[in-house]
Chains A and B, each alone.
Chain A
Amino acid sequence: MLTFVLRRLLLAVPVLLGVVFVVMLTIDLLPGDVVALMLGEHATKDAVATLREHLGLDKPFIVRYLEYVARVARGDLGRSIQQNRPVAAELADAWPATLELTVAALLIATVAGITAGVASAVWPNSFFDAVARLGSLFGLSMPIFWTGLVLIVVFSLWLNWLPVGGAGSLNHLVLPAITLALPSVAMVSRMTRSAVLDVLREDYVRTARAKGVGELWVLGRHALRNAFIPILTLLGLQSGQLMGGAVLTETVFAWPGLGRLMVKAIFARDYILLQGAVLVFALAFVIVNLLVDLSYGLLDPRIGRQG
């Protein structure tokens, strides 16, 4: 078990190195001059050269990449250009809010998506099934930032039930979490429906029914348990979607998380902060998918842990 976890974490290292490489390279390919843009158009040539040297931008790309990786390995993410604070501190301030938001959204997506999907599969082609499938089509087509604004109009402006934005209480969490969850609810319910439908056609389900097992037991013990593996894989992949969506949701609801920090970093051309934020997102994605892989073994004893 432990060796499996360690091996998977080691395998994640090249992925993270690759992500940093891609991000740094894209920033490096910038046609404009970052330093000149940061200082504004009235900066002297000397000032630009000094800042460039200060930021280490006068060195070749590969050198800068290796230096950055070496520093990150020692736990040093550098200093944010705009705030002149350690990037690690900026990220530490922001990530709990994003974690809270994405976990809440993942919970909603899991519970609502699986419930709707199972109901659709148990009563296929019923009225509920039609509504749920149409709903999931819309869920996949709605731009997440727009859903957020519509929810604000309905629940904050018209009904006056929930706050417009900001963070701090459970009430603040409701609308952003639902907004972020909706596309995932749609994906999960689609996936659950087809997975449960597939399992319900299996011989062992027929056997269970034939020997008089109650329908609820068949569903819970046989169908859902077996359908859970593809659903779980999807949830792992959805966590990546949720991180992307968090950038938009946080912007709409003024949620003080990593996503908003990242957008701010882009506008400020604070590429050191941007690299740090991207790295945290990539790390989170790797960890979530490791957890998903680990839970396969818990759900299905046939899947060994030899990895």
Chain B
Amino acid sequence: MNAWSRFRRNRLALVGLVLVVVLAVSAALAPWLAPYDPARQSLVEKRTKPGAKYVLGADEFGRDILSRVIYGSRVALLVGVLSALIAVAGGLLLGTVAGFVGGWLDAVLMRGIEILLAFPYLLLALAIVAALGTGALNTTIAVGIWGVPTVTRIVRGSVLALRETEYVGAARALGAPVTALLRRHILPNILPSLIVYATLFMANAILLEAALSFLGLGVQPPTASWGLMVSTGRDVLLVAPHVATVPGLAIMVAVLAFNLVGDGLRDALDPRLRGSA
């Protein structure tokens, strides 16, 4: 049974996949799907309750929350995908170097990785943002760096295991460059683990971006970011609870979607891990 048919039998994973597709479509087609311009203010209609004109209500500046939630999916997905790419690229580089070079470089790198892993991630992201400054790009970098240690470990473990195999030894003896070894032998072996990790990482990346933006240290106004929307809604929480709670629902659905797909992929690609927490 191949991976796809295993994945397809997992109903929760399919629900997750549908939600991811919905997210991707809303991000891609935001200008056509959104009923209003997400930046259009209408101060007389501020804090309008959900109703006929504004399906999900309007925020503090009378901006349509539905339109902003739709545009917010762009920020969430972009930060998620790009930070996952940073994590995978950084981890591939460091893991390959640590695994192939070995020696003191390996020891130093892995101690550093352990320190990063031992550290509460939000605190680390806060330190990075404190250094880089706020904004969408810096948030993406801060989130991406957080994923590098785990990818490094996956890659290094695989490099160490495969370095000792005869076929990799033979390829090296024939003078194959490291990049070829990486592409032909290492990558195919770790691809399933990387895909699973990257998917689950996206869920956490969306959460982390939202958290940073909520604190005011992530994406800056007037960009429509879900975490930022919750943060601005917080000021009017007691008079207009929908302004803060509705965008938060979008965060939860997006995170849930990637968690479900990630769990499903793990069960489908790596049956040994089936059922494990």
Q: Interface 1/0s, chain A 265-289, versus B by CB < 8 A?
A: 0110101001000100110011000
Could you tell me the distance in whole angstroms from the C-beta of B233 to the nearest C-beta in chain A?
8
With the chains together, A32 CA to B256 CA distance in Å? 37
Instruction: List B contacts of A143 (CB < 8 A).
Output: 207, 210-211, 214, 227, 230, 248, 251-252, 255
In the bound complex, do residue B260 and residue A248 qualify as a contact, i.e. CB atoms below 8 Å apart? no
Are A244 and B255 interface neighbours, CB within 8 A? Answer: no
A145 to B132, Cβ gap below 8 A?
no
Q: Does B181 sit within 8 A of A, measured CB to CB?
A: no
Q: Are B127 and A22 neighbours in the complex by a CB distance under 8 Å?
A: yes
Complex-state Cα separation, A240 to B124, whole angstroms: 11
- A142 in the interface, Cβ–Cβ < 8 Å? yes
Q: Does A91 contact B (CB under 8 A)?
A: no
Task: Note all chain A residues with C-beta closer than 8 A to B83.
Answer: none
Inter-chain CA distance A77–B31, complex, in Å, is 52
Interface size class of A (residues with CB under 8 A): 35 or more
C-beta contact mask, A215-256 vs B, less than 8 Å → 1, else 0? 000000000000000000000000011011101100110000
Residues of chain A lying within 8 A (CB to CB) of residue B249: 146
B131 within 8 A of A: yes
| Given A251-B215, A274-B130: A281 in contact with B123 (beta carbons within 8 A) | yes
Q: Is the CB of A149 within 8 A of B245?
A: yes
Does any Cβ of B come within 8 Å of A47's Cβ? no
Chain B residues near A28 (CB-CB < 8 A): 131
Q: A191 near B: Cβ within 8 Å?
A: yes
Residues from chain A with Cβ under 8 Å of B167 in the complex: none
Instruction: State whether A252 touches B123 (Cβ < 8 A).
Output: no
Contact check: which of B216, B217, B259 meets A137 at CB < 8 Å?
A: B259
Counting chain A CB atoms within 10 Å of each CB, the highest count among B122, B210, B230, B259 belongs to: B122
Which residues on B sit within 8 Å (CB–CB) of A194?
275-277
Contact residues of B: prevailing secondary structure: helix
Chain A CB within 8 A of B100 CB: no
Contacts of B102 in A (CB 8 A): none
* Residue of B119, B230, B241, B255 with most chain A CB atoms under a 10 A cut-off: B119
What count of chain B residues pass the 8 Å CB interface test?
A: 49
A267–B277 CB distance below 8 A? no
A129-178 at interface with B (beta carbon < 8 Å): 137-138, 140-146, 149-150, 152-153, 157, 164
Q: How far in angstroms is the closest Cβ of chain B from A29?
A: 5
The residue on B at minimum CB distance from A270 is B130
A146 and B251 form a contact (CB under 8 A): yes
> Interface stretch among A13-21, A78-86, A104-112?
A13-21
Residue pair B216, A19 in contact (C-beta under 8 Å): no
A198 to chain B, nearest CB (A): 9
B169: interface (CB < 8 Å): no
CA distance A243 to B126 in the complex (A): 12
Q: Mark B242-273, 1 if CB is under 8 A from A, else 0.
A: 00110011011001100110000000000000
Contacts A145-B211, A149-B234, A193-B277; is A140 near B130 (CB within 8 Å)?
A: no
C-alpha gap A146/B133 in the complex (Å): 24
Q: How far is the CB of A224 from chain B (nearest CB, A)?
A: 17
Q: Which residue of B lies closest to A275 (CB)?
A: B127
Q: Is the C-beta of B203 less than 8 angstroms from some C-beta in chain A? A: yes
**A248 contacts B122, C-beta separation under 8 Å:** yes
Q: Using A142-B252, A240-B120 as known contacts, say yes or no to A263 and B215 having CB atoms under 8 A apart.
A: yes
Cα A143 to Cα B122 with chains together (Å)? 13
Closest to A140 in B: B259
Contacts of B215 in A (CB 8 A): 247-248, 251, 263
Tell me if B203 and A141 are in contact (CB < 8 A): yes
Task: Tell me, in angstroms, the Cα distance from A15 to B116 when the chains sit together.
Answer: 9
Chain B: CB-nearest residue to A191: B277
Closest to B145 in A: A26
Q: Smallest CB–CB gap between B267 and chain A, Å?
A: 13
Q: A31-B132, A164-B238 are in contact. Are A150 and B211 (CB under 8 A)?
A: no
A240 adjacent to B118 (CB under 8 Å): yes
Please, how many angstroms separate the alpha-carbon atoms of A146 and B116 in the complex?
27
A245 and B122 contact, CB distance less than 8 A: yes
Chain A, Cβ-Cβ closest to B260: A137
Which residues on the B side are within 8 Å of A157 (C-beta)?
A: 237-238, 241
A22 touches B230 (CB 8 A): no
A27 within 8 A of B: yes
* B54, CB-defined interface residue at 8 Å: no
B207-245 residues with Cβ-Cβ distance < 8 A to A are 207, 210-211, 214-217, 227, 230, 233-234, 237-238, 241, 244-245
Bound Cα distance from A181 to B213, whole angstroms? 22
**Nearest-CB residue, chain B, relative to A197:** B275
Q: Taking A143-B227, A191-B277 as contacts, is the C-beta distance between A241 and B120 under 8 angstroms?
A: yes
The 4 closest A-B pairs by CB, nearest first: A146-B248, A244-B122, A26-B131, A141-B256
Which of A's residues lie within 8 Å of B, judged by CB?
Answer: 14-15, 18-19, 22-23, 26-32, 137-138, 140-146, 149-150, 152-153, 157, 164, 187, 190-191, 193-194, 240-241, 243-245, 247-248, 251-252, 262-263, 266-267, 269, 271, 274, 278, 281-282, 285-286
Beyond A143-B255, A266-B129: 16 further Cβ-contacts under 8 Å? Answer: A22-B127, A26-B131, A142-B248, A145-B248, A146-B248, A146-B252, A149-B241, A194-B277, A240-B118, A240-B121, A248-B214, A262-B126, A266-B126, A266-B217, A281-B120, A281-B123
